[in-house]
Each structure stands twice: as C-alpha cells, then as structure tokens.
C-alpha cells in the first residue's frame, strides 16, 4: 500500500514480526541463514536483546545485505560533533529546577550528526541503563556518511522541519508532530530541506515498548497499529562512506568503500518505526482530580524494578478538560522520578510563560515543582466548564535516574527559573 503523502511504504504494527524485500527473491524462505543466500547476499543477525531473553522480550532481525557489516577498518576518534556526548558537568548535581530557552547557538551549517548537542545524561552507557536528552539543529543533509549509535536506541522528536531518515532497514519520513524510533546499532543517514530542529532521547536501557493498559483494557493510548515500519530499501553505491559511531560515550569514525545502506531484504521484530503523536488516544478524568501523567505514556523502557521506568516517553496532547471541582493543570508535586520536558508547539498548561517550543526543562528527583504563579492563579479562578486544550504538544522523558546537565546545558540555563514559583500568597488559616 503506497503512502499517499510521500510514496514511502510502511508496514504497520509495533514490534511485529515483519518481513520485507526490495528485490523479489532476496528473502530466504523457511530459514534464516541458508548455505548460499540469494544473489550472493550476506545473512546477518542484529540482536536488540540477549539471545536468551524471554520470548516476549526477545528482539532481533535478520538482514540480507550486499556486504557484511564486519567488513570495515578500525574506528578512529571522530573530531566533529563536539557538543554531542560532551559528558556531564563536573561536581555534584544541584537540587535546582532548570529550564532552557531554545539555545540560539546550536551548531550552524551542520548535518544531523554534527548538529546534535547533549543536554542531559544519567548513566554510563556501559551499564545498559539510563537515558540522555539531546537537541539538534541541522541545515544540511548527511552526504557520504551514516551514523550508528551503539549506546542506545534513538527516539527522535522533530520540533520543526521534516527529516527523511534512510536506515539500513528502509526509509522513514518524520515531520514535526511525529516521532521516529531507531534501534540501537542501526545505521542511518538523515536528509533535510532547509532547517530542522528537535530533540533526541537516547535510551541506553531496555528497548521502548507500549505500556501495559491494565484496567484501561485492550485499546487506548498509543495503539500498536499506528506505528509504521519502513519496507526494505537499499542503495548500491561503491563510493567512500564515513561511518560515525557513538560507542561508550565517545564518537568514532571509519570509512568504507561502499554504502552500508545495502540491506536488500530483512525480517524480524527489531526495526525502525515512526508514529504520529496526533494518533494518541488520550484518556483523562471524566469526574474529578487530575490523573498522574503516566496516563499519557506513549512508550516505556522498564528498569529492573517493576513499575519504575528507566525511561517513559509521555506526551501532553490536545484534550478536553472536564474535571469538576478540580484544579485542572498539573498539581504541585515532588517526584522520586526525574522529569525532563520539551515542547513541540503551543503552550504547556502548567507554565504561563518561559517554556518555549524547542526549549527544555528539568525537574529532577524530589524537586518541588508544578504550576507557575500565573497558571495557578488562572486555574484556581477559572469557571469549570468543559475546556479544550488545543494547539499544543509537550512531552516528558521521565527517568528513575536523576539527570546530570552537561556543561553546555548549565551555561545556558535560564537564570531566573525559580521566580516561576515566587510570591504565592500565603494560606490564611481561621483566626
């Protein structure tokens, strides 16, 4: 089925067992690794979970490619992209709330890789847990090079501009309002027209999956059928191609004499996908009280502790607010989980000002936060008729591991963020 908007074809479903071939006959039937794959292709397994992971956790795909990935020369340190994985700032993490305007000095005239800037990190990649938050600004397509992240799966959240992502396993188009998920280790190139900006959550832990629905039942939130995985697509290019790899927190580079985007067919349940956030089936109160934001979870990466996410990707989409006798915006709270938030467009209902599209905020473990004074005043006085929050899309990457800002982030944080919560009137007790 052709996709009307961009001619790229997709397979639907989250984490399904897909099979796809760009050349008829490339995909072996009934086995993974025949003695002689069709056309002299190389069969190669890509594992996203341990071989012995329980069946419902097991993620792997088989790729049929023109040359094996093993065919490369040593990686050497890469000197571009200086702001990616800059490492956390020295010293203890201060218990302060932090917020950023969209940085005006993100890399300029760069492609997606060199345009990435790390803002927040929270575990060493070798621990196979944690999540980092990066921003990007890119003005050029990647040409003659691809990127591969061995440290984590990449959740790409465009804020403006459209990315065309040519991965080993096919092509995806991802505009603002969509997300893309690229599995750990899958090589890709990003093409753009004009300028593109956005966020990347780099998940070093267990692969993102749909959250349990519990009493919600068998439908709702992000529905599996709305995730789209590209069909196989490849390029047959015998020209130098640089491979830039993020590996254990550092960047490395090697140059091949061919494009590694040469996977002619693949099958399996580990593959890139995209999802339009507008498809999210938002559920909320129809009686009273503001539910915990976990009700807005799109994807979750569990930790080893049940119910405590290594990373939750949560959105705040347009929705009706109908709660009776309820303070409707997010309440005041302190959380053992750490909350990084971004804004794709519009306004966030807990922040009357200062939180801009392309900006970022951090409310780490146990830091007191909630509505700013203006939002609190407005919502406390509002007439509680049904109101539709429209034209907005905020998101949160919530993690059980406190985030550490990078030096780049610390140097650019708003200086007066605490004033968002200054001068609340004191409660007046009966005399």
Measured between alpha carbons, how far is 36 from 268 in angstroms, rounded to an integer? Answer: 20
Measured between alpha carbons, how far is 352 from 231 in angstroms, rounded to an integer? Answer: 43
Phi, psi of 208 (to 5 degrees): -60, 140
Q: Which stretch binds ligand OMD (CB under 6 A): 57-65, 67-75, 76-84, 328-336?
A: 328-336
For residue 330, state whether it binds ligand OMD (rule: CB under 6 A): yes
* Shortest Å distance, C-beta 346 to Fe ion: 18
* Shortest Å distance, C-beta 396 to Fe ion: 7
Q: What is the DSSP string of 157-211?
A: EEEES-EEEEETTEEEEE-TTEEEEE-TT--EEEE-SS-EEEEEEEE-SSPPBPP
State which residue, 86 or 314, has the beta carbon closest to Fe ion: 314
For residue 228, state whether it binds ligand OMD (rule: CB under 6 A): no
For residue 363, state whether it binds ligand OMD (rule: CB under 6 A): yes
Place of tokens 């509680």: 384
For 33, residues 6+ apart whose C-beta sits below 8 A from its C-beta are: 43, 62
Token pair in block for residue 345: 């467009």
290 is catalytic: yes
Among 65, 184, 369, 404, binds ligand OMD (CB under 6 A): 369
For residue 346, state whether it binds ligand OMD (rule: CB under 6 A): no
Which candidate, 2, 3, 1, places its Cα nearest to that of 276?
Answer: 3
Measured between alpha carbons, how far is 416 from 336 in angstroms, rounded to an integer? Answer: 24
Among 113, 142, 165, 350, binds ligand OMD (CB under 6 A): 350
Distances (CA, A) of 403 to 88, 277, 399: 9, 25, 8
For residue 396, state whether it binds ligand OMD (rule: CB under 6 A): yes
Among 44, 153, 339, 372, binds ligand OMD (CB under 6 A): 339
Residue 164 contacts which entry, Fe ion, ligand OMD, none (Cβ below 5-8 A, type-dependent)? none
- Report which residue's Cβ sits closest to ligand OMD: 330
Which candidate, 99, 84, 136, places its Cα nearest to that of 364?
Answer: 99
Measured between alpha carbons, how far is 15 from 153 in angstroms, rounded to an integer? Answer: 14
* Shortest Å distance, C-beta 339 to ligand OMD: 5
Question: What is the total count of residues that contact ligand OMD (CB under 6 A)?
Answer: 10
Place of tokens 């697509």: 233
Strand bridging mode 145-149 / 241-247: parallel
Q: Which stretch binds ligand OMD (CB under 6 A): 65-73, 106-114, 221-229, 333-341?
A: 333-341
Which residue ranges make up the site for Fe ion (CB under 5 A)? Answer: 339
- Dump strand ranges (E) for 76-152: 76-77, 98-100, 116-121, 131-138, 145-149
Q: Which stretch binds ligand OMD (CB under 6 A): 16-24, 236-244, 330-338, 410-418?
A: 330-338
State which residue, 228 or 339, has the beta carbon closest to Fe ion: 339
State which residue, 190 or 396, has the beta carbon closest to ligand OMD: 396
State which residue, 161 or 330, has the beta carbon closest to ligand OMD: 330
For residue 168, state whether it binds ligand OMD (rule: CB under 6 A): no
Residue 284 contacts which entry, Fe ion, ligand OMD, none (Cβ below 5-8 A, type-dependent)? none
- What is the per-residue burial (b if ≥16 Cβ within 10 Å, else e) of 373-412? eebbeebeeeeeeeeebeebbbbbbbbbbbbbbbebbbeb
Residue 350 contacts which entry, ligand OMD, Fe ion, none (Cβ below 5-8 A, type-dependent)? ligand OMD
State which residue, 312 or 339, has the beta carbon closest to Fe ion: 339
Which of these is catalytic: 267, 290, 363, 369? 290
**What is the helix (H) or strand (E) element at residue 374, kind and residue range?**
helix 373-381
Neighbouring C-beta atoms of residue 308, cutoff 10 Å: 13
Residue 152 contacts which entry, ligand OMD, Fe ion, none (Cβ below 5-8 A, type-dependent)? none
Token pair in block for residue 63: 């790729």
* Shortest Å distance, C-beta 155 to ligand OMD: 18
State which residue, 153 or 339, has the beta carbon closest to Fe ion: 339
Neighbouring C-beta atoms of residue 297, cutoff 10 Å: 21
Is the distance from CB of 358 to CB of 119 less than 8 angstroms? no
Residue 396 contacts which entry, Fe ion, ligand OMD, none (Cβ below 5-8 A, type-dependent)? ligand OMD
Binding mask 276-295 for ligand OMD (x = CB under 6 A): --------------x--x--
For residue 98, state whether it binds ligand OMD (rule: CB under 6 A): no
* Shortest Å distance, C-beta 355 to ligand OMD: 9
* Shortest Å distance, C-beta 133 to ligand OMD: 15
Catalytic residue positions?
290
Q: Would you tell me which residues interact with ligand OMD (CB under 6 A)?
A: 290, 293, 330, 333, 335, 339, 350, 363, 369, 396
């Amino acid at each position: 089925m052709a996709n009307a908007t961009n001619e790229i074809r997709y397979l639907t479903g989250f984490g399904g067992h897909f099979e796809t071939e760009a050349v008829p006959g490339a995909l072996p039937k009934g086995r993974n690794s025949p003695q002689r794959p069709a056309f002299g292709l190389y069969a190669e397994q890509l594992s996203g979970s341990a071989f012995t992971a329980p069946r419902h956790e097991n993620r792997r795909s088989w790729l049929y490619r023109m040359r094996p990935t093993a065919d490369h020369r040593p990686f050497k340190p890469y000197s571009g992209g200086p702001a990616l994985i800059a490492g956390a700032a020295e010293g203890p993490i201060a218990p302060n709330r932090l917020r950023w305007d969209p940085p005006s000095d993100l890399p300029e005239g760069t492609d997606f890789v060199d345009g990435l800037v790390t803002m927040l990190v929270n575990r060493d990649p070798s621990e196979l847990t944690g999540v980092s938050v990066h921003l990007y600004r890119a003005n050029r397509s990647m040409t003659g090079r691809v990127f591969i992240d061995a440290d984590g799966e990449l959740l790409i959240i465009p804020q403006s501009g459209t990315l065309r992502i040519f991965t080993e396993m096919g092509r995806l188009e991802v505009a603002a309002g969509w997300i893309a998920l690229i599995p750990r280790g899958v090589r890709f190139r990003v093409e753009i027209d004009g300028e593109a900006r956005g966020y990347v959550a780099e998940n070093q832990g267990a692969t993102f999956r749909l959250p349990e629905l519990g009493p919600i039942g068998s439908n709702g939130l992000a529905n599996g059928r709305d995730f789209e995985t590209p069909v196989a697509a490849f390029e047959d290019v015998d020209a130098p191609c640089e491979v830039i790899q993020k590996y254990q927190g550092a960047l490395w580079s090697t140059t091949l004499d061919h494009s590694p985007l040469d996977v002619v067919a693949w099958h399996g349940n580990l593959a890139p996908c995209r999802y339009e956030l507008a498809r999210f089936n938002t559920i909320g109160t129809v009686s009273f009280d503001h539910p915990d934001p976990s009700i807005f979870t799109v994807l979750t990466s569990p930790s080893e502790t049940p119910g405590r996410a290594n990373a939750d990707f949560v959105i705040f989409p347009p929705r009706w607010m109908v709660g009776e006798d309820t303070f409707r915006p997010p309440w005041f709270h302190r959380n053992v989980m750490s909350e990084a938030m971004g804004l794709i467009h519009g306004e966030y209902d807990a922040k009357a000002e200062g939180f801009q599209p392309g900006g970022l905020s951090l409310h780490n473990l146990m830091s007191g936060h909630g509505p700013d004074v203006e939002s609190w005043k407005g919502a406390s006085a509002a007439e509680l008729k049904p109101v539709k929050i429209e034209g907005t899309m905020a998101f949160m990457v919530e993690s059980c591991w406190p985030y550490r800002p990078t030096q780049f982030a610390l140097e650019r944080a708003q200086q007066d963020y605490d004033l968002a919560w200054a001068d609340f009137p004191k409660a007046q007790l009966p005399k």
